[in-house]
Structure 1
Amino acid sequence: MSARVLKVHPADNVIVALRDLSAGEQIDFGNDTYTLPYAVSAKHKFVTEDRQPGDPITMYGVLVGKATQPIRRGESITTFNLKHDADRYGLDKKQPYSWQPPDVSPWQGRTFMGYHRADGSVGTRNYWLVVPLVFCENRNVLILKDAFERELGYSQPDTYRDQVHELLSLYKAGDMSVIKKMEPFVAESQNQTLAHPAKLINRPFKNVDGIKFLTHEMGCGGTRQDSAYLGSLLSGFINNPNVAGATVLSLGCQHLQVDMVAAEIKRQNPKFDKPLLLFEQQAGTEYALMAQAVKETFLGLIEINKLERQPAPLSALTVGLKCGGSDGFSGISANPVLGHLSDTLVTLGGKTVLAEFPELNGVEQELINRTDDNAKAQKFITLMGDYSAQAEAVGSGFDMNPSPGNIKDGLITDAIKSAGAAKKGGNAPVADVLDYAEPATTPGLSLLCTPGNDVEATTGMAGSGTNVILFTTGLGTPTGNPICPVVKVSTNTKLKNRMPDVIDFDSGPIIDGAQSIEQNADALLEYIISLASGDLITQAERLGQDDFIPWKRGVSL
């Protein structure tokens, strides 16, 4: 890799700037020399040949847009001179596909310490889950949350409450000048490896990683379809291998009924054998409901605390693959790292799940080619087509997906963003195609229909059974999940240094030339083994970043 620039694919007619390049600077690459007419910022791309309106721009070996203005050789592509475009796709265009699995001999026989469930799955965490079937129960869920977390040692530190207390004391004393000069509080250990809290805090239930409380605004009042999808999602969360048991609160009269959820849990997992506590408020007083829920949940915690971590093969991992707050380095550092790691796990017999269908726009044909089963390939085509058509019907097609932050940092069109995002899926064949919250049961790489929206996507992956989620970011995002550890992987070291309290792992050494993609991926897999074994927690877990947003199947990019 050049210290200044990179050409991602031999067929590309753009080159990526790895650092800021000045106007007039000469770039030697291969057998060519480029003189830049204008400055090119790091993460952005300049063309290797003159382009006229209508001429194609290719990156990652695929069409990512067409010129709308003349673009001189060495000039950068922008939203002014380039518009999104992508190749058409279909089963009729399907080509034979083959791949070379990576050498996994160093990983054969490796294990992590996980919680073995009766259905054969293995959890990386041991959680009790409390969920409402309808928004009417949110208050009761939050009351339970406060009671259990404070008494059992799972509540978040009172850092900011302590700060407010000190400020209030100074205000009462009339020390306004002191308040104005105070330095902000700085939390400790933000940039250090994070040990699991159970090793540091005197909790009564040493083998219970936490009690997770979900709230939402659904379950009644919307469409019956919305309630049915919510039921599937909540059932997926309860079935997730990281969940040992659940308390379910129902009002009684809502669309999403208790028997619907119980039936969906069994439909998804006929071997379901976890404690499941069901309570309905309209059967009596609120006090009776809550007192019984507290007692039965406490007894459930006693039972799941008897579970202990045992060795499990790496094939027991189900890893979600996600990106958010992406930048121009995402597709050449962190995303390919996830792709190599995915190929490694797939070769070992594990499962990986690639989500975000709006961010597969432009690489559909490659994924179709990689799907051996034509019925599954057609399912992917149908899901993509229906989703795209729904977005276009309200004037918000996939081409409008890149955010202002994406564009500022080099992702000019959705096809550029998508081609880089798809690198998270590596090169393995596509083993399955899943609709939102559909369980991931087939070993190998699965494509999961979710929005690009960070939390809707991670929520969907956890609902499909992931026990670890890898989340690459170039701009920084604190996204987490209630039941599934979310590992934030930075695309560049500057981000890791700027947001150490959010980022868990750095792929920046690839950009700096200090590591190869394979070396970085191997280091990430070692990190995951420690994380899955409970030796470490993620920054999102430390922050209590329990984000949960169900997708209502409306237009969300």
Structure 2
Amino acid sequence: MHTYLSVHPKDNVLVALQNLPKGTAIEYNGQSFDLIMDIPSKHKFVTEDLAAGDHVTMYGVLVGKATQPIRRGEQVTTFNLKHDSDEYSVSKRKPYPEWQAPDVSKWQGRTFMGYHRSDGQVGTANYWLVVPLVFCENRNILKLKDAFDKALGYAFPDIYLQQTQELVQLYQTQKSDGIAAYTPSFTSEKPVIKPLFPNLDGIKFLTHESGCGENNQDSALLAALFGAYANNANVAGITVLSLGCQKTQFEDLTNEIKSRNPLFDKPILFYEQQAYGTEFDMLSAAIKGTFQALIEANKLERRPAPLSKLNIGLKCGGSDGFSGISANPVLGHLSDIVVALNGRTYLAEFPELCGVEQELIDRCADEEKAEKFETLMRQYASKAEAVGAGFDMNPSAGNIKDGLITDAIKSAGAAKKGGTAPIADVLNYTEVSKVPGLHLVCTPGNDVLATTGQAAAGATITLFTTGLGTPTGNPICPMVKVATNSKLAQKMSDIIDFDCGPIIVGEKTIEQTAEELLEYCIELASGTFKTKAQLLGQDDFMPWKRGVSL
């Protein structure tokens, strides 16, 4: 087993694949040297003596500059390395070499069992959506959620309520005696649920803090986001609650839907509280109308669809020092396979593309798309810098602890999720995909803001890599948690779906693992099973208010 790794021939740092003690002998590029300090697993150490100001290179790109001398065999840290990255511009754009697509002959003719929409899209799930046009309706949304989930069989037993009730009973019968030694009388194992409508994967109820009392841009973006969600192939129809006087109006939503898809013909049910008068009258009408619509939505059955109908989001969160060398490259190879099959993939998180912009500019299908990407990146970066939140501040405490010292290191590894395919299109937030291929989607790196944006772009499955453990899910887009290391997969088995750890110990290759993950996705897209996030009811949704978020 290898104990350290060179990621790229141009690099002057190596990655520790396990804890390496001081004095460990290192063989690299025909030279030998000893580590001058203990190097924790996932962290990097330099292969040459560096002076203050010297470049540190990883993944073949500039990822930082030394702030003080660093000796060969010494760990790079926040104390001796600061973020830096290469300049980028469309004017420096170079022809991208002809893409060497992976061999996909074994996938030709393969299908998944999906939900076919009248406009040609195919969903991996069949959800009904219930949304408020303004935060004033959040309470009513939650009332509907409680009623529908329990009555239709989508609600799991509340094991935490049961635990609390057991403690209450102990308190009432024994006062405080026995509470300290209490253990639950049941496990966290999820029971199999049998909903009333077998062809409806669920009803998803979204809440937010927007729609009124804000700038016009944020209100317009809310309508655009809901318009994009309604258009997602995993959505069968939508129920809309409105107060009536808010800034975001129903007409704004319908205009956004039609602008994205002139062929849109899914049912849209609209209920305005100020028009109905009482809450009871509005919710009673919404319950009856929605129930009737669910009966129709349940009539749609899964049918075979080619793999070209797969729309896969590529996301990372809670990243560690292994993310860029195991799970992220796995997603990259899977993305290349899907693109070669004429499917669609979505790489988001613009703050986490810092340092690899020029490569992405070169990979854009044409100069117009390259210019759009550069413009969006520069606009975003300048807004961040204006409020003292530059991209260099992106790594979290958990990232740094696990070896992602600068944003450029984190970004170069994150970009591996995009594989090597040409970039077919660049999408601003709430823009939807129009062509097959790899897409760049402008979102923050924030997990929920990014995954919310990917579903808006059209993703019907999201692959989410994590080295530290992140429970994030999405209401309409099944989210697969992909662990970078086996220790995490075992420790947090209730949220992890797939383990890339065997790559680190040399048991499997990136290509083998990517093919296994694609097989997993085909079964998931066919409704054979649900992800851990789906089983936990992890339906995270957060509109991006266009202030600065990283």
TM-score bin (small chain)? over 0.9
Counterpart of 2:526 in structure 1 is 533
1:67 has 2:66 as partner: yes
Q: Deviations over 1:44-82 (max 9, x none)?
A: 011010000010000000000000010000111000000
Partners of 2:421 and 2:94 in 1: how far apart?
15
Which of the numbers 256, 259, 266 marks the counterpart of 1:274?
A: 266
Letter in 2 for 1:64: V
Within 5 A, what are the aligned runs for 1:461-480?
A: 461-480=454-473
Letter in 1 for 2:131: V
Report the 3-state secondary structure (helix = DSSP H, G, I; strand = E; otherwise coil) of the residue aligned with 1:179: coil
CA contact 2:156–2:193 (8 Å) conserved in 1: no
Give 1:26 shift: 1.1
Partners of 1:508 and 1:276 in 2: how far apart?
45
Counterpart of 1:384 in structure 2 is 377
1:246 has 2:246 as partner: no
Which of the numbers 386, 401, 405 marks the counterpart of 1:393?
A: 386
Give 1:186 shift: 6.5
Give 1:177 shift: 3.6
Letter in 1 for 2:468: L
Letter in 1 for 2:548: V
Within 5 A, what are the aligned runs for 1:156-555?
A: 156-174=156-174, 176-183=176-183, 187-189=187-189, 200-285=192-277, 286-555=279-548
Partners of 1:214 and 1:85 in 2: how far apart?
39
Q: Deviations over 1:395-428 (max 9, x none)?
A: 1100000000000000000000000000000000
Give 1:188 shift: 4.4
Letter in 1 for 2:295: I
Report the 3-state secondary structure (helix = DSSP H, G, I; strand = E; otherwise coil) of the residue aligned with 2:107: coil
Partners of 2:325 and 2:29 in 1: how far apart?
19
Give 1:289 shift: 1.2
> Identity, % of aligned pairs?
65
Partners of 2:531 and 2:364 in 1: how far apart?
33
Letter in 2 for 1:434: L
Of stretches 504-513 and 174-183 in structure 1, the one that deviates more from structure 2 is 174-183
Partners of 1:385 and 1:371 in 2: how far apart?
16
Structure 1 length as normaliser, TM-score? 0.97
The aligned length equals 548
Counterpart of 1:39 in structure 2 is 38
Partners of 2:497 and 2:33 in 1: how far apart?
38
Q: Deviations over 1:135-177 (max 9, x none)?
A: 1111111111111111011113211111111111111111634
Letter in 2 for 1:245: G
Partners of 1:108 and 1:31 in 2: how far apart?
44
CA contact 2:171–2:177 (8 Å) conserved in 1: no
Report the 3-state secondary structure (helix = DSSP H, G, I; strand = E; otherwise coil) of the residue aligned with 2:312: strand
Report the 3-state secondary structure (helix = DSSP H, G, I; strand = E; otherwise coil) of the residue aligned with 2:455: helix
Partners of 1:343 and 1:486 in 2: how far apart?
19
Of stretches 167-176 and 453-462 in structure 1, the one that deviates more from structure 2 is 167-176
CA contact 2:316–2:464 (8 Å) conserved in 1: yes
Structure 2 length as normaliser, TM-score? 0.98
Within 5 A, what are the aligned runs for 1:40-55?
A: 40-55=39-54
Task: Specify every segment of 5 or more residues in structure 2 that has no aligned partner in the other structure, as ranges.
Answer: none
Partners of 1:186 and 1:345 in 2: how far apart?
42
Partners of 2:93 and 2:229 in 1: how far apart?
35
Q: Deviations over 1:360-410 (max 9, x none)?
A: 000000000001310110000000000000000011100000000000000
Partners of 1:138 and 1:153 in 2: how far apart?
22
Partners of 1:346 and 1:115 in 2: how far apart?
21
Q: Deviations over 1:506-538 (max 9, x none)?
A: 000000111000000011001001111001101
Letter in 2 for 1:277: L
Give 1:287 shift: 2.0
Cα 1:186–1:50 change in 2 (3 A) is farther
Partners of 2:148 and 2:424 in 1: how far apart?
41
Q: Deviations over 1:427-478 (max 9, x none)?
A: 0000000000110121000000000000000011111111000000000000
Report the 3-state secondary structure (helix = DSSP H, G, I; strand = E; otherwise coil) of the residue aligned with 1:383: helix
Q: Deviations over 1:466-512 (max 9, x none)?
A: 10000000000000000100100000000001000010000000001
RMSD of the alignment, in Å?
A: 1.1
Counterpart of 1:21 in structure 2 is 20
Letter in 2 for 1:216: H
Give 1:189 shift: 4.4
Counterpart of 2:111 in structure 1 is 111
